[in-house]
Amino acid sequence: MSNASVGREAQALAAVRSTLAEETGASEADIARVARSKARRRRQLVLLARVLTLVVVIGGWQLFTALKIVDPFFFGRPSGIALKVRDWVEHGTAYGSLWLQLGVTMKEALLGFGYGVSAGIFVGIVLGQNRFLADVVGPYIKVLNAIPRIVLGVLFIVWLGLGTASKVMLAAVLVFFVVFFNAFQGVREVDRNFVANARVLGASRIQIVRHVVVPSALTWIIASLHVAFGFSIIGAIVGEFLGAQRGLGLVIATAMNNFDPNGVWAAMLIIAVIALAAEALITQLERRLLSWRPKSAAESAGS
């Protein structure tokens, strides 16, 4: 095929296109406007339904407890929870100010998260790179993963005492396995062509890990961070629950022992707010680090 014929075809195509545009051009703006208002209406509807759901659930809860259909002594009530939170904010908990408890729990959770993630990524990459080592320790890791690790918290308290160390340890152990399995899988999934190409181009082992393996596994690792952060909070709270001198877990345990369901709910509410904030931060991090990824169909559809 010669260039001339290609050129002619392109010209003909362009002509067809411009005619089409003239015919439809007038209505194009209308179509866009209708589509936009449709999309806006749908968003408003979703928002309205969400608010309604909340009102029905919370309002129903309040109503049923007020009518004594549900016993507020066992189930608490929304107004009681709100008062409890206010009380904590204004007068502090039995163990000092609310912010102190929150700070202690967050410190434990974040330290545990940091240690667990670092260890998980490191071990995941080392084992992912070394098939022999992975085959040797594989079954043991499966066994460790199978034991209910929450129970380890009891041992950690015996070993490390009632202070923060035991909670950090428990959080780190919970986080480690989540991150490790993802990092390991991520390293295993690295395209062999990428590695072969880097080797041929003269990359050293370290350079391959840095330029090929880690970025490739990052998708997997970051996906695990969402779950991992939740686990780190669980680790800290459960650790405090089992035995501590400070922290939200201790506050919850005390509320439970005092038959104060409002206190348990209030503490849960506070934790949920923190977890949501952390989730938003991790999503931001994910966007930043994985900006190279093509938008998935769902994302580009604007959901």
Contacts with another protein, residue ranges (CB under 8 A)? 1, 191, 193-194, 196-204, 207, 211-212, 215-216, 218, 290, 292-294
Count other C-beta atoms under 10 Å from residue 107's C-beta: 15
Q: Which residue lies nearer to another protein by CB, 42 or 131?
A: 131
Question: What pairs with residue 93 in β-bridges?
Answer: 96
Nearer Cβ to another protein, position 147 or 201? 201
Query: What is the rounded CA–CA span in Å between residue 100 and residue 111?
Result: 16
Please, which residue, 67 or 301, has the CB nearer to another protein?
301
| Pick 129 or 207: Cβ nearer another protein | 207
Question: For residues 218 and 282, which CB has a smaller minimum distance to another protein in the complex?
Answer: 218
Q: How far is the CB of 292 from another protein (least distance, A)?
A: 4
> Rounded to the nearest whole angstrom, what is the least distance from the CB of residue 18 to another protein in the complex?
24
Structure tokens at 208: 């391959």
Q: How near is the Cβ of 275 to another protein at its closest, in Å?
A: 29
Min separation Cβ 191 and another protein, Å: 7
DSSP conformation letters of 114-177: HHHHHHHHHHHHHHHH-HHHHHHHHHHHHHHHHS-GGGHHHHHHHHH-SSHHHHHHHHHHHHHH
Which residue, 5 or 257, is less far from another protein as judged by CB? 5
- HEC readout, 214-263: HHHHHHHHHHHHHHHHHHHHHHHHHHHHHCCCCCHHHHHHHHHHCCCHHH
The minimum distance between CB 4 and another protein, in angstroms, equals 14
Min separation Cβ 282 and another protein, Å: 19
C-alpha to C-alpha distances, 117 to 36, 39, 124, 226, nearest whole angstrom = 43, 40, 10, 11
Residue 117, CA atoms < 13 Å, CB-side half-sphere: 20
